[in-house]
Amino acid sequence: MDIVKVLIVEDERIIAESIKLSIEKLNYSVCGIEAWGEKVTTAIEGLKPDLILMDIRLRGEMSGVQAAAIIKDKFDLPVVFLTSYSDDKTIQNAKYTYPYGYLVKPFEERELYATIEIALFKHRTSQELEKYRNHLELLVEERTSELNKINSELEDRIREEVEKRNKQQQVIIQQSKLASLGELAAGIAHEINQPLNIISFTMDNVLAHIKSDSLNRDYLQKKMEKIFQNIFRMKNTIQHIQTFSREQKEGNSEVFDLNQPVNDAINLLYEQYRNHGIELKIDLDPQSLPVFGNPFRLEQVLLNLVSNARDAINNNKGEIKVTTSLHENQILMIVSDNGEGIAPDIIDQVIHPFFTTKQPGEGTGLGLSISYGIVKDMDGNLEIESIQGKGTKAIVTLPISQSREKQDAKQ
């Protein structure tokens, strides 16, 4: 591992040399000492340090706070203030440069070591998070381009079929997966922002312990583990969206727990629906519910059913409930709502292709039809029950997987 290079920015030469000795004693490398604020950027360009220890008061007209502000705008480097000034005004001015630490002289070497290590870790974490953000943006751009192309091809094919059958002349077609990806988009931000906030609060707590001289190795280890857990959570979210957005082929089947795709979908939709006044509840069977098929295609079914339930509530406050259970050797997934319901004379038509109860331009009538096909491919069934004015139930029935049947037989 390369030795960390530190640039000391200090106007008092004796103090600078003392700091240098402490830095080198801690196994860091001092790449230079600068006393003038106006010369700091030139020193950085020439010495290329990994971290900067910055005094507030420097030679020349530029203060350490001003120099730190320039570094923030021009360089991606962590700055730690190392100063004798601890008054409120100085601290308030310094914090707007977003420093990675603030250590008041005189200090102990262990305090300096902890401050530098936290600053370097926070900087590395910030770089990793930026990389994840860039990856997510690139992923969204790539998938949007691919899905727009698929959507365009699908529209052309369906338009030909509609013309052959002498049905409507203009049909707006959106592939079901595109609509579902839109449902997930609002949840992605929440699943990324929440761990980001946890990481930020954790770092603030660590810095507070440093300032209060109460930092110990066990506490620091615990907080670092928490940070990496949340980075891993963000990584899993990105990987899930990436896999879900790919085209899922029928042959990609496996035995999986039905509760898993239900949890994955609801977690990404929960905050979005709550913000629209809709309470999204889940009641999952505590035991594993193994079924055979493609988990991402089944997640697509759930997203379609929940989307229909939301539309049935018609933007009023309501409730959508998703339940899973094992009943008479069959696995059930039920999506129920307390919306406006479906009229008895059309309920038998809702799973037919192109049939929709929505206003023109608001739906294609493909969501339930596609969901019905996916469930049938899994040797299951999809039924719709509704009482007009009280709500609707979408009941998905799936056969229990052979692996579960064999396990039950052994017992």
| Max mean pLDDT range (57-71, 143-157, 202-216) | 57-71
Q: Global pTM?
A: 0.43
> What residues form DSSP beta bridges with 334?
323, 395
Tokens 């801690």 locate to: 26
> What residues form DSSP beta bridges with 9?
34, 54
Mean pLDDT of 259-275: 80
Task: Dump pLDDT digits (tens) for 127-174.
Answer: 888 888 888 888 888 887 887 787 777 777 766 765 664 343 333 223
Q: Indicate whether 390 pLDDT > 90.
A: no
Residues 239-255, buried b or exposed e (16+ Cβ, 10 A)? ebbeebbeebeeeebee
Q: What is the largest CA-CA distance in the chain?
A: 91
Written as six digits, the tokens of 245 are 């957005």
Which of 194-208, 227-241, 280-294 has the lowest average pLDDT?
Answer: 227-241
Q: Indicate whether 52 pLDDT > 90.
A: yes
Q: What is the pLDDT of residue 79?
A: 93
Confidence of residue 237 (pLDDT cuts 50, 70, 90): low
Q: What is the pLDDT of residue 246?
A: 52
- What strands lie across the sheet with 391-399, from one edge to the other? 278-283, 318-327, 330-337, 391-399, 381-387
Residue 295's identity, in one-letter code, is: P
Q: Indicate whether 364 pLDDT > 50.
A: no
% of the chain at pLDDT higher than 90: 25
Looking at per-residue pLDDT, the higher value among 371 and 170 belongs to 371
Instruction: DSSP for 276-314, please give it.
Output: TTEEEEEE--SS--EEEE-HHHHHHHHHHHHHHHHHHHT
Residues 145-164, buried b or exposed e (16+ Cβ, 10 A)? eebeeeeeebbeebbeebee
Contacting residues for 184 by C-beta, under 8 A, at least 6 apart: 241, 244, 265, 268, 269, 303
Average pLDDT, the chain: 78
Contacting residues for 78 by C-beta, under 8 A, at least 6 apart: 50, 51, 52, 100, 101, 119, 120, 122, 123
Mean pLDDT of 208-216: 78
The 3-state DSSP class for residue 6 equals strand
